[in-house]
């Protein structure tokens, strides 16, 4: 079955942060993410040793996370990931900060926040997620890899 | 977002294409934040104009050659390359990735040093003041209470917000560059009164006195409150600049603390009521002996080897008081042949350290005073380092990930003792 009935989808409504609409596989963490010093911008990997995703790549994923923490080099670290071709495809997050706002803007990845349900409760790693930054909508297909 | 007539004119190019691109970035950034407007700032601290050969090559391959091209494409996130004018706002350069006088010890090839020197000249040519430190507030740019700033460097931002009462968010490299060219930054977060009020309460039940005590408290508080504003009560001994510096840097590393209140100490916290204003504490944490011990163990959890190859002091950059203390602890002694001791600071403090003879004392003992950078920024430790020791909770947090070494955390004295004996003997206080 390639077409799933629409009631299999979970729709969350929030505020668009960066415009654009894209879909991809979710990578979810309940822990905030450090930019500079926490990720390897050349490979798109989380390297913070204390982080639950340490060693995992966010390249081409829809990154679902509580928010940004740590150094002010957050935007530059993710900006570098963009020019290295290993940035996340989209961002879904809860806590607005200057770090994550600027990072999302310069990565130019569709991004949504302030959702009506906590995306960390709804979305699991591996879910297929469509992020519509123009309208502030996140559409989740559970445990499916597309179509 | 509502723009003033002057800001609209800037966006439309009245002050040249670079200011227009900078304003465009500020508008995109402000709207991402959900800000209503911009605010004037004449105090910017960033890594303006810095770049790497990787970035230069990347843009050059696309036909965008030269420093202005990197500035346009990366710092201003502009698809078009524009001529970069002189800074419009008073702007300082933060720490760099390169130690200017000992680059070989950092394993930096000569070509990379030359690239860095040209980068520094480029930044200076734009009117950027090259303080080259993570602590501009201790090196010639001390904001005043109420001053709107656009600073990067989480440890500096938390200091000027909390200890001085200046107003800055933690800006990024791109927003600081845009502020430098426009004298504007989004009016959001810590520029507004509401965001500066306390959100969580932390009752300190033990004596917190030494620099190490303050570093551990900061690390604990950041873990408890994340990016929120903590209100610390129960402090009996007034912390000085160095203690605030270590507390804030730690809290900004383990969490994302950009502003804190210490009741009876910081400018907007004469009382608990003043610190919280209209907010009610979301939760109250306590910091007693058990929490202190757990924090110490957490910081030291990843270190196992007791042979210390490298002692790193100066995160955030050491003040002259700290260099003085290190010199006193090292006076007349020799560090272990298996251990390196590097102390990081800014060039003005180093000059005083030379004038006062501290640099000579430290060098005679086998240590070195380094400037402009640190191990985490330069992503470098002395060759062959497997185990490091530092008196900075922030550096302990970052070193394992950035340099791939184990890191012990302790007092300045524990660290100097490790340098002298080559062994880690630190214990929870």
Interface check for B189 against chain A (CB to CB < 8 A): the answer is: yes
Q: Which of B211, B165, B198 is nearest to B282 (CA)?
A: B198
| DSSP bridge partners of B368 | B342
Q: Quote ipTM for the complex.
A: 0.94
- Which contiguous run of DSSP H or E holds residue B10? helix B5-11
- The number of distinct structural domains making up chain A is 1
Q: Please judge whether A99 and B157 are an interchain contact, meaning their C-beta atoms are less than 8 angstroms apart.
A: no
Confidence of residue A1 (pLDDT cuts 50, 70, 90): very low
pLDDT score recorded for residue A97: 93
**Distance (Å, rounded) from C-alpha A41 to C-alpha B200?**
33
For residue A1, being part of any structural domain is answered with no
Q: Considering only residues 110 to 129 of chain B, which have any Cβ-Cβ distance to chain A shorter than 8 Å?
A: none
Q: Chain A: residue nearest B34 by CA?
A: A17
Interface check for B75 against chain A (CB to CB < 8 A): the answer is: no
Handedness of CA B239, B245, B250, B251 (dihedral sign): positive
pLDDT score recorded for residue A77: 96
Residue A119 domain boundaries: 6-141
- Could you tell me the domains of chain B? 5-191 (3.30.499.10), 197-299 (no CATH), 310-421 (3.30.499.10)
For residue A134, being part of any structural domain is answered with yes
Packing angle, helices B241-254 and B393-403, rounded to 10: 40
Confidence of residue A147 (pLDDT cuts 50, 70, 90): very low
Confidence of residue A72 (pLDDT cuts 50, 70, 90): confident
Interface check for B309 against chain A (CB to CB < 8 A): the answer is: no
Contacts of B47 in chain A (CB under 8 A): 76
Q: Which of A47, A68, A50, A74 is nearest to A58 (CA)?
A: A47
Q: Please judge whether A101 and B33 are an interchain contact, meaning their C-beta atoms are less than 8 angstroms apart.
A: yes
> How many contacts does A have with B, using Cβ atoms within 8 A?
105
pLDDT score recorded for residue A7: 57
Which tokens in the block code for residue A70?
């740590």
For residue A147, being part of any structural domain is answered with no
Q: Please judge whether A72 and B172 are an interchain contact, meaning their C-beta atoms are less than 8 angstroms apart.
A: yes
**Distance (Å, rounded) from C-alpha B358 to C-alpha B325?**
9
pLDDT at A145 over 80: no
Q: Which residues of chain B have pLDDT under 50?
A: none
For residue A69, being part of any structural domain is answered with yes
Q: How far is the alpha carbon of B228 from chain A, nearest alpha carbon, in Å?
A: 10
Q: Which of B184, B183, B269, B283 is nearest to B225 (CA)?
A: B283
For testing the chain B interface, which of A53, A68, A100, A101 should be mutated: the one with the most B CBs within 10 Å? A101
Confidence of residue A2 (pLDDT cuts 50, 70, 90): very low
b/e map B323-347, b = 16+ CB within 10 Å: bbbbbebbeeeebbeebbbbbbbbe
With a CB cutoff of 8 Å and minimum separation 6, the contacts of B153 are: A71, A72, B45, B94, B95, B134, B170
**Distance (Å, rounded) from C-alpha B35 to C-alpha B121?**
35
| CATH number of A64's domain | 3.50.30.10
Q: How far is the alpha carbon of B364 from chain A, nearest alpha carbon, in Å?
A: 33
For residue A146, being part of any structural domain is answered with no
User: Which DSSP category does B107 fall into?
Assistant: T
For residue A22, being part of any structural domain is answered with yes
């Amino acid at each position: 079955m390639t077409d799933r009935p629409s009631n299999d989808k979970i729709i969350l409504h929030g505020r668009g942060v960066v415009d654009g609409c894209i879909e991809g596989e979710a990578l979810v963490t309940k822990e905030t993410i450090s930019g500079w010093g926490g990720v390897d911008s050349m490979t798109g990997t989380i390297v913070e040793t204390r982080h639950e995703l340490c060693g995992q790549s966010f390249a081409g994923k829809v990154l679902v996370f509580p928010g940004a923490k740590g150094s002010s080099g957050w935007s530059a670290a993710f900006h570098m990931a963009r020019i290295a071709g290993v940035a996340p495809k989209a961002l879904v997050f809860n806590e607005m900060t200057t770090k994550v706002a600027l990072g999302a803007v310069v990565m130019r990845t569709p991004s949504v926040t302030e959702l009506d349900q906590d995306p960390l409760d709804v979305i699991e790693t591996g879910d297929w997620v469509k992020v519509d930054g123009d309208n502030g909508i996140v559409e989740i297909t559970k445990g499916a890899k597309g179509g | 977002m509502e723009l003033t007539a002057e800001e609209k004119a800037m966006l439309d190019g009245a002050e040249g294409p670079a200011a227009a691109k900078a304003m465009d970035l500020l508008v995109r950034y402000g709207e991402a934040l959900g800000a209503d407007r911009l605010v004037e700032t004449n105090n910017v601290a960033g890594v303006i104009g810095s770049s790497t050969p990787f970035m230069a090559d990347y843009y050059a391959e696309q036909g965008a050659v030269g420093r202005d091209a990197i500035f346009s494409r990366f710092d201003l996130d502009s698809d078009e390359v524009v001529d970069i004018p002189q800074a419009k706002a008073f702007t300082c350069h933060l720490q760099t990735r390169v130690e200017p006088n000992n680059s070989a010890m950092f394993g930096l090839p000569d070509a990379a040093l030359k690239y860095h020197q040209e980068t520094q000249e480029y930044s200076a040519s734009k009117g950027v003041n090259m303080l080259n430190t993570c602590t501009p507030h201790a090196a010639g740019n001390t904001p005043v209470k109420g001053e709107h700033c656009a600073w990067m460097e989480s440890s500096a931002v938390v200091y000027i917000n909390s200890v001085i009462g200046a107003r800055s968010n933690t800006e990024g490299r791109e927003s600081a560059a845009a502020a430098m060219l426009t004298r504007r930054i989004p009016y959001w977060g810590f520029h507004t009164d509401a965001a500066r009020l306390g959100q969580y309460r932390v009752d300190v039940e033990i004596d917190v006195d030494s620099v190490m005590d303050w570093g551990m408290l900061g690390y604990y508080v950041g873990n408890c409150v994340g990016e929120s504003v903590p209100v610390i009560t129960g402090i009996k001994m007034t912390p000085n600049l160095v203690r605030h510096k270590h507390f804030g840097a730690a809290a900004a590393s383990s969490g994302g603390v950009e502003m804190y209140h210490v009741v009876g100490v910081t400018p907007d916290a004469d009382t608990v009521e003043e610190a919280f204003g209209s907010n009610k504490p979301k939760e109250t944490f306590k910091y007693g002996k058990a929490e202190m011990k757990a924090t110490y163990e957490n910081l030291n959890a990843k270190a196992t080897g007791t042979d210390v190859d490298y002692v790193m002091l100066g995160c955030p950059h050491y003040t002259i008081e700290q260099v003085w203390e290190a010199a006193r602890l090292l006076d007349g002694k020799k560090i272990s042949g298996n251990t390196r001791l590097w102390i990081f600071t800014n060039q003005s403090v180093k000059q005083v350290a030379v004038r006062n003879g501290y640099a000579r004392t430290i060098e005679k003992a086998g240590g070195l005073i380094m400037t402009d950078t640190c191990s985490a920024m330069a992503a470098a430790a002395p060759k062959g380092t497997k185990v490091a020791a530092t008196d900075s909770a922030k550096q302990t947090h970052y070193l394992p990930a950035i340099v791939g070494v184990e890191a012990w955390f302790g007092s300045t004295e524990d660290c100097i003792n490790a340098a002298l004996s080559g062994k880690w003997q630190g214990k929870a206080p």
